[in-house]
Amino acid sequence: MLSLVIITALLAFTRGKPCADTEGSNSELLLSLSKDLLRSLDGQEGLPNPSVHLALRLSNSHNLVKESEHLNRLKNHLHNDIQNSLSNSQSVTGLLALYTLALKSSCYDLNTITFAVSETRETLLTHLKKQMELEKEHIAFSHRPLTNYYQYSLGVLALCASGIRVNNHVSNKLIKAVEHEHFRHGDTESTDMYAMAGMALQCVKDAGSHVHNAAELDTALSKIKQKLLAARRTDGHIGNEFSTGLAVQALLAMGSPVAECAASMEAMRTDARANKYENPMAVSQILPALHQKSYLTVKVKECLDEDDTLVLEPLDPVVVLPSTTKVAVMVEVVTSSGTAALYPVDVPKGSSLLEALELLSAKNDGFTFEKESSLWGPFLSAVNGEQARQSDRRYWHLSSDGTALSQGVSDFKIEAAQKIAIKNTTY
C-alpha cells in the first residue's frame, strides 16, 4: 500500500513539472517570501496557522528550529482548539484538514495524533473521515455541505494525501458539485473552491481508487481546468490576486503546460515584489505555487537532508507616523431585511478598514460591530447587533464604490474618499 501511495504521488509531482523553468532566476524572491512567513510566526495573533506551516515545509530552504517550534504550537494550541470544537459538535472540516496536511508536511506520524470525544479517543484521520461523512450526509438532504465545498475539498485532499482511500460516495458528491457548478460564494463563482476541488480530485485520480466513475472524474477535472483558465484576467491573475496562488497550484497538480501558468506566476511575482501580499495567509498560498509545487506534494514529502540555511537577519525598526491627511468615507450598512443606514466618518489616509470602523464606532453611538478571528485575520461577525453566521449561510459582504473587496477588514487600506458597503448576504 505504501509503495502504491509513493508511486502515484510521484506521478502527481512529475505532472506538475512542466511549469518549473523560472525558479532559478527568482530564488531571491522565494527566500524573501519564506523569511516573511518565518517572521510572521513571532507576531501571530490567535491560533498558530497550519497553512503557514505547510508553505514553509513545501519551500526549498528551511529554518528547522523555527519550523519545529511552530509544529509544537500546532500540536498544542491548535490541537486544543480543534478538540474543543469537536467536543461541542462544531464542524471543523477545513481546519482539521489543514492541520492534517501541516503535520504530514513535517512527516509526522498521524496515527499518534488523537482527539477524545464523548470519552472515546480516536485518531486525527478517523475524526476527519467522520467529519467528511457528516458533510456528505448533509449534502444528501440539503444539497450543500455543513461547511462549504472549499472545506469539503480540503477534507478529501487531506485524507487522500495521507494515504487514506476516500469513500467513493464522498468523492462523488464533489464530482457532482463540479458538474452542477455549485462552487459559488454569493453571486459569483469561487475560484478558490474550483482550485481546491481540482487538487482533491486529482489526488483521488492518482490514487486509482475511483474506478467506477472514472469518466465522470475525468470530466470534472477537465471542467475545473476550463473554469480556472476562463477566470484568468489580462494581467495573468486567476480570479483575483488572492485566489491565483491556489489556482496555479491546481493547474500544476493537473499537469498544465508552461503556457498555461507562466503568466499567472509572473503576476504573483510582480505583486509580491510590490508588497501586495502582506497577509501571511496570502503568502502561504502563493509560495508553494512559486516553488512549482502544490498541496498534493505533501503526499511524497520526505524530511531528509533538508536545506537548513534560512536565517533571519535583524530588521531595523520602522516607525510609521500617522497621516495628517483625512479621507472622507461613507459607510453603508444593509441588513438582512434590506434596510440601509449611512454613516459618514473622516479617517487618516492609509487607515485599514478595521481602523476606520473602530473610529466610526467611537464617534457614532448608532454604529457598532463585532469581529471574530480566522486564519486570514479578523472578519465581521455582527454589525449594529445583527449577526451574519456561517450556520445561517450568511456573511457580511464588503465593497468599495460597488466593487467587492478581495481583502479583509485589517488588510484593506483606505487611500481615497469612497463609499464602503457592508451588506448581510446569504450564500
Q: How far apart are CA 310 and CA 28, in angstroms?
A: 12
Going by pLDDT thresholds of 50, 70 and 90, the confidence category of residue 42 is confident
**Residues 88, 316: contact at Cβ < 8 Å?**
no
pLDDT in tens, 347-384: 999 999 999 999 999 999 899 999 998 899 999 999 99
**Residues 224, 250: contact at Cβ < 8 Å?**
yes
Residue 397 included in any domain: yes
The pLDDT, as a whole number, for residue 129 is 97
**Residues 324, 340: contact at Cβ < 8 Å?**
no
Mean pLDDT of 291-302: 95
**Residues 268, 26: contact at Cβ < 8 Å?**
no
The domain that holds 370 is classified in CATH as: 2.170.130.30
The pLDDT, as a whole number, for residue 333 is 96
Residue 305 included in any domain: no
392 and 269 share a domain? no
Residues contacting residue 336 through CB under 8 Å, at least 6 positions apart: 386, 388, 394, 424, 426
Residue 319 included in any domain: no
The pLDDT, as a whole number, for residue 70 is 97
pLDDT in tens, 57-94: 999 999 999 999 999 999 999 999 999 999 999 999 99
pLDDT in tens, 238-248: 999 999 999 99
Ranking 35-39, 254-258, 292-296, 406-410 by mean pLDDT, the lowest is 254-258
The pLDDT, as a whole number, for residue 314 is 84
265 and 395 share a domain? no
Count of CB atoms situated within 10 Å of the CB of 163: 18
Calculate helix-pair angle for 280-290, 27-42, nearest 10 degrees. Answer: 150
Structural domain count, the chain: 2
Mean pLDDT of 136-156: 95
249 and 386 share a domain? no
The pLDDT, as a whole number, for residue 21 is 42
Mean pLDDT of 401-427: 93
286 and 390 share a domain? no
Pairing, β 188-189 against β 184-185: antiparallel
Going by pLDDT thresholds of 50, 70 and 90, the confidence category of residue 16 is very low
The residue type of 358 is E
Q: How far apart are CA 247 and CA 230, in angstroms?
A: 11
Residue 285 included in any domain: yes
The pLDDT, as a whole number, for residue 388 is 85
154 and 30 share a domain? yes
The pLDDT, as a whole number, for residue 317 is 75
Tell me the residue range of the domain where 360 lies.
326-426
The pLDDT, as a whole number, for residue 78 is 96
Alpha carbons within 13 A on the beta-carbon side of 80: 7
122 and 239 share a domain? yes
The pLDDT, as a whole number, for residue 6 is 36
Please, what is the average pLDDT of the chain? Answer: 90
Going by pLDDT thresholds of 50, 70 and 90, the confidence category of residue 419 is very high
Pairing, β 418-426 against β 326-334: parallel
| Phi and psi at residue 119, to the nearest 5° | 65, 15
379 and 268 share a domain? no
Q: Spell out where 160-207 has E strands.
A: 184-185, 188-189
Indicate if the pLDDT at residue 212 is higher than 80.
Answer: no
Element (H, E) at 371: strand 369-372
The pLDDT, as a whole number, for residue 321 is 72
Going by pLDDT thresholds of 50, 70 and 90, the confidence category of residue 17 is very low
DSSP state of 61: B
281 and 351 share a domain? no
When mean pLDDT is compared over 3-7, 11-15, 213-217, 342-346, the highest value belongs to 342-346
The pLDDT, as a whole number, for residue 25 is 57
Q: How far apart are CA 13 and CA 302, in angstroms?
A: 13
Q: What are the grid coordinates assigned to 361, written together?
A: 464606532
The pLDDT, as a whole number, for residue 3 is 40
Residue 308 included in any domain: no
pLDDT in tens, 154-207: 999 999 999 999 999 999 999 999 999 999 887 789 999 999 999 999 999 999
3-state helix, strand, coil in the chain (%, to 5): 50, 15, 35
228 and 262 share a domain? yes
229 and 350 share a domain? no
The pLDDT, as a whole number, for residue 403 is 93
Residue 261 included in any domain: yes
Indicate if the pLDDT at residue 43 is higher than 60.
Answer: yes
Stronger pLDDT, 202 or 427, i.e. the higher one: 202
pLDDT in tens, 315-340: 777 776 777 899 999 999 999 999 99
CA of 380: how far to CAs of 301, 337, 376, 395, 405, in Å?
A: 37, 18, 12, 8, 13
